[in-house]
Structure 1
């Protein structure tokens, strides 16, 4: 109970544990009842499994806590077997590198404890991180799974290749540059490019904002007409609408796939397949690897985004 109060405080009220035998074994899972609702659980000496749903997430998930093998050779085989057969993702650890220490003068540090999550879970909770908590007198550090969104301010402009193939894009760029030059002949090239960038961003936002929503709407519309066709004949106009909807749907699929392909920076693609989910996960993993969660400034670790941005700006 002391460990439960120290780690979870008054926030992590949900708890299930398997007690240690002497100094070996022992498992503990804690959760915030306001964010995660447990429907059922399973408990043994080496496994804890809890089933439930996160707040505002439709899909049910299962969280499994496993006490792995203790010998070095079995540890590697065990971890490789889990990640290789299940395609689970090992998230970067925030707040430290290792989770276990032998508590001796000549210390040995190892990363034993970790969360492995599925691609579906990462898609539903893209801001989730695993964070190292203080070890206290134990030889293990507790590890927390948190939804950690950080507001770094406006996102930088990204140019997506699919825009080059869109009708009206070339005319937009030409007219924008001509207009900017005519309004102020003294404008430099940098000012003209910034103005054109703003025009491109506004144009693409108006035309393609909510691609996923548009895809869902078109799929629903096509499904309604196809269900109607199962019971009665469709008019030529209705068939034409279905053909047009399918054409638009395919176009949106390709745009969505192109966006995530470019974000993922993956160099291969199987022609003709929709690999959007694969590229989505690649992009999420890449963002996590490149994310700056904290910065050491004058010997002090700083995690406040405003202070980090100010320091980086002053440095350069």
Structure 2
């Protein structure tokens, strides 16, 4: 008998498997789905261990774990190091669920050429920096070299890495939401709102950066690079 192909799926199953996957409302109604549990047992399905808050959906005082990643035994045997993350909620009552199945070992080498980053223009500190650091007394070539050196330091020490800031903000928001899931805190709720506003700015900068990159790729590759634009649009929607 031929074994079924390895597979893994994830998303909103709109049901819970255990009583412990629900909090709030009436305790008499468990909400457990026998059909979902029966499907699990008949097909010997598995769930990778997740990291983050337990409940992936909430409305009012009711919280449930409706979103999950599941796989069959064949897939788990091939991907024993999979990591599942319950990410912070932003503009939805559901948490995004991410499965990380491989590690990225790519390490860039060599000296990167200087490139002007469009997201710098969204930072209110950039214009004063330019006004204070462009040396009109120097000839153009020397002034450019001097400014590029200072701009590199400003980008590293002040502006920072967009993707790193995004990751840090998501981690802080996730930590706060994990705490608030167990105990109410007015100050932490206010901090969560502030961090979400900061994240919106970072997401805007990220979008500007991808737009700049897509334009550069289009100039180099033309219509052959349609897949790149489509993929970046998908990433932004996620």
TM-score category of the 2 structures, normalised to the smaller one: 0.3 to 0.5
> TM-score, structure 1 length as denominator?
0.35
State the structure with more CA Rg: 1
Structure 2 length-normalised TM: 0.45
The answer to which structure, 1 or 2, has the higher relative contact order (CA under 8 A, 6+ apart) is 2
Larger fraction in strand: 1
Higher helix share: 2
